[in-house]
Amino acid sequence: MENIKGEKPRENILDRTRRHIKTALGSCLLIFLFAFFSAEAANAVSLYLSPSSGSYQVGKTFSVSVFVSSSDQAINAAGGVISFPSDKLEVISLSKSGSIFSLWVQEPNFSNSAGTINFEGIVMNPGFTGASGKIITINFKAKAQGQATLTFSSGSVLANDGAGTNILASMGSAKFDIISPVSAEPTPATKEPVSALAAPALAASPEETAPPKESNTPAAPKVSSPTHPDQEKWYSNNNPEFEFSLPKGITGVNVLADKNSNTDPGIRSDGLFSSYTYEDVDDGVWYFHIRLRNGYGWGGVSHYRFQIDTEPPVPFAIQFIDGRETDKPQIRIAFNTTDALSGIDYYKIEYRPGDSLKVSVSEIVLHNPYTLPPLPLGRQPIKITAFDKAGNFTVASDEFIVKPAAAPEITDYPRKLAVGETLNLVGNTIYFNSDIDIWLQKDSNEPQKYSNLSDGEGKFTFDKKEMGQGVYQLWAEVVDKEGGRSNPSEKVTITVKDSVFRGLGDKLLNAGTWAMKFLTILIPLLALILFLIFLLWHGWQKFSILKLKAAKELRLAKKAFQKEVEKSKKDIQKRIEILELNRASRRLVDETEGKIIEQLKKDLDDIEKFGKKEIKDTEKFTE
């Protein structure tokens, strides 16, 4: 509907807002999808060929370069195998000019018979990042009409992440149309001197050209070389010698050496010989060409490849990642060199007298920098010899010093403990999350080792329960992941003694134990003594009883004796009195009687004295 002025009605504000929102959302979605797919494409790592298409005439040469693309992630190695139709194309040479690779695990090489090209190169730190990293250039020669397709039959691109992760996402291809030439005029072959030849091809397979149609001409001779027996290997001998057999009827031999794989030596005879030697040949890849002649003409040509490299690898230096003086027992070193022709074969590392390692180039790539086995402390010489594939070598020598790691510190420990208490120790080291060996030595005994770990701040602890009495020395050492040990910490001394009450109890216990042992001996001894005392006492009792009985009997005897003595005295006295009386009455003065009387008196006194003495002695015995 139009208004009066013929204008269209204005759009509602809400509808217009909705339309703007839809437009904005659609734009954001398109931008997001574009960014997403662009990021995916940017992040993809690929191997590709350039140019990837074209048309070339038979007999003409053209070049195809191999590139690697890795825009967002650094790479340090790439390799692959390219397949091509050997009936349509022939590789003339490979060129490393302008390559991002400075080191080759495998020198670029090809086989025209198998239709393959091989390469495997390395980029040193920090690696390569970019969309068009040139690897090699392949120089082809078109052989026959048709379509020739180049493809990667295998490939890998390794990230510079220390683990060698294969991050290859895609591999390209190329298609070329081989067309017939406009005109084909044969070019006569000319023999060139050995010293003035074209640039070398990097690889080829030996070939034999077909003999002329005349079947009676000589076959291409079989060539061997005592100095260069393997056509794929490099040799430092620049005086190559070749041997071949001469069948019957041979009238001429034509030889030529140059750097082309399929040269026709021509039809001029150089004489008759079955071996040929060149002297002072320049370095490079060469081909020995030979054909024989008989009465029917010249036969087929044999081509024998030989490779000469007399130059040693480029001089190089050893880099010490952690410095020439380090406390790490496993030294990290970086080294690299190149060889212009044959390439580096391997390295020989001599890091201490009698110890050496043979390290391949691929090992250096995967473990760059290279880590040596654990080494003892002190100054260490090192020599690295780089050998090329011809046996030439270059030596790099240096030395380094392995220092002991910084000693840990024991920060808190008890200087005295009571027997049975727990030892708690705290220490610190500058090495976080490292192994700690705690050494504990009691008195003069052998030290005992206990293992622990430091935490994320370098702190470590040690607990030992139920400490026994004695004087202990304690120290710590740091052991790193490579097995290296630090200097020991300062030794601390801890004295463990009995407490007062515990000591008293132990003393009482020891005294009781001693007493028990003593009583075990004493009691039987006391029993024996008591038994002897009892025997003595019993004997004494028996003796006392006998003594009492004897005393009683003696007393009775004494009384009886005294009684009898008194009685005898009385009788004798009475007789004396009678005699004296009679003597007086008769007035006898008889001497004999007087003597009798005196004798009787004397006897009486003797009896009395003897009786008293005997009685006294008896009383002494019975007391």
User: 3-state SS of 343-385?
Assistant: CEEEEEEEEECCEEEEEEHHHHHHCCCEECCCCCCEEEEEEEE
Separation between Cα atoms, residue 498 and residue 418, nearest integer Å = 5
3-class SS at 169? strand
Centre a 10 Å sphere on the Cβ of residue 320 and count the other Cβ atoms it contains.
17
Which pLDDT score is estimated for 397?
A: 94
Token pair listed for 176: 């070329």
Which pLDDT score is estimated for 32?
A: 47
Share of the chain above pLDDT 70, in %: 79
CB 236 within 8 A of CB 228: no
Token pair listed for 355: 């110890």
Which pLDDT score is estimated for 19?
A: 57
- DSSP secondary structure of 4-23: TTSPPPPPPHHHHHHHHHHH
Separation between Cα atoms, residue 555 and residue 543, nearest integer Å = 18
Centre a 10 Å sphere on the Cβ of residue 521 and count the other Cβ atoms it contains.
9
Q: How far apart are the first and last CA of the chain?
A: 175
Query: Which amino acid is located at 317 in the chain?
Result: A
CB 444 within 8 A of CB 455: no
Dihedral sign computed on CA atoms, order 360, 363, 369, 372 = negative
Token pair listed for 72: 């967002």
Write the burial class of residue 144 (CB in 10 Å: 0-12 exposed, 13-18 middle, 19+ buried). middle
Separation between Cα atoms, residue 239 and residue 243, nearest integer Å = 13
CB 231 within 8 A of CB 304: yes
Token pair listed for 178: 């081989």
Separation between Cα atoms, residue 547 and residue 118, nearest integer Å = 138
Which pLDDT score is estimated for 503?
A: 53
**CATH of segment(s) 409-497:** 2.60.40.2550
Architecture of domain 45-179: Sandwich (2.60)
Which residues, 6 or more positions from 567, have their beta carbon under 8 angstroms from its beta carbon?
Answer: none
343 pLDDT higher than 60:
yes
173 pLDDT higher than 90:
yes
SS (H, E, C) 291-325: EEEECCEEEEEEEEEEEECCCCCCCCCCEECCCCE
Residue (of 145, 205, 134, 140) closest to 174 by Cα position = 140
Would the pTM count as exceeding 0.85? no
User: Stretch 347-360: mean pLDDT, rounded?
Assistant: 88
Which pLDDT score is estimated for 362?
A: 81
CB 483 within 8 A of CB 376: no
CB 265 within 8 A of CB 276: no
CB 203 within 8 A of CB 110: yes
Each residue's pLDDT tens digit, 372-409:
888 777 888 999 999 999 999 999 999 998 888 788 99
Q: 482: left (phi > 0), else alpha (psi -120 to 50), else beta? A: alpha
111 pLDDT higher than 70:
yes
Which residues, 6 or more positions from 321, have their beta carbon under 8 angstroms from its beta carbon?
Answer: 332, 333, 334, 369
42 pLDDT higher than 60:
no
Which CATH superfamily groups domain 319-402?
Immunoglobulins (2.60.40.10)
Asked if the peptide bond before residue 126 counts as cis, ω within 30 degrees of 0, the response is yes
Which CATH superfamily groups domain 234-308?
Immunoglobulins (2.60.40.10)
Which pLDDT score is estimated for 175?
A: 95
CB 123 within 8 A of CB 164: no
Strand intervals (E) in 161-282? 168-171, 173-179, 234-235, 241-243, 252-258, 275-277
Residue (of 180, 118, 129) closest to 152 by Cα position = 118
151 pLDDT higher than 90:
yes
User: Stretch 490-495: mean pLDDT, rounded?
Assistant: 92
**CA 179 from centre of chain:** 63
Query: Which amino acid is located at 291 in the chain?
Result: R
Q: Mean pLDDT score of the chain, rounded to an integer?
A: 81
Each residue's pLDDT tens digit, 181-213:
754 333 333 344 444 333 333 333 333 444 444
Tell me which range, 383-387, 452-456, 525-529, is most confidently predicted by mean pLDDT.
383-387
Going by DSSP bridges, is the β-strand pair 297-308/234-235 parallel, antiparallel, or unpaired? parallel
Each residue's pLDDT tens digit, 52-88:
999 999 989 999 999 999 988 899 899 999 999 999 9
3-class SS at 442? strand
CA angle 566, 568, 574 (to 5 degrees): 100
Separation between Cα atoms, residue 293 and residue 295, nearest integer Å = 7
Each residue's pLDDT tens digit, 533-564:
988 888 888 888 887 777 777 777 777 777 77
Which pLDDT score is estimated for 246?
A: 94
Which pLDDT score is estimated for 215?
A: 67
Q: Give the chain's length.
A: 623
Token pair listed for 106: 């495998």
Q: Provide the β-strand partners of residue 134.
A: 67
Q: What are phi and psi of 476, to 5 degrees?
A: -135, 155
Which pLDDT score is estimated for 287?
A: 97
Separation between Cα atoms, residue 328 and residue 380, nearest integer Å = 13
Which pLDDT score is estimated for 68?
A: 95
User: Stretch 123-150: mean pLDDT, rounded?
Assistant: 92
Radius of gyration (Cα) for the chain, nearest Å?
64
Separation between Cα atoms, residue 342 and residue 237, nearest integer Å = 13
Residue (of 400, 374, 386) closest to 344 by Cα position = 386
Separation between Cα atoms, residue 344 and residue 388, nearest integer Å = 4
Separation between Cα atoms, residue 473 and residue 496, nearest integer Å = 11
Centre a 10 Å sphere on the Cβ of residue 459 and count the other Cβ atoms it contains.
13
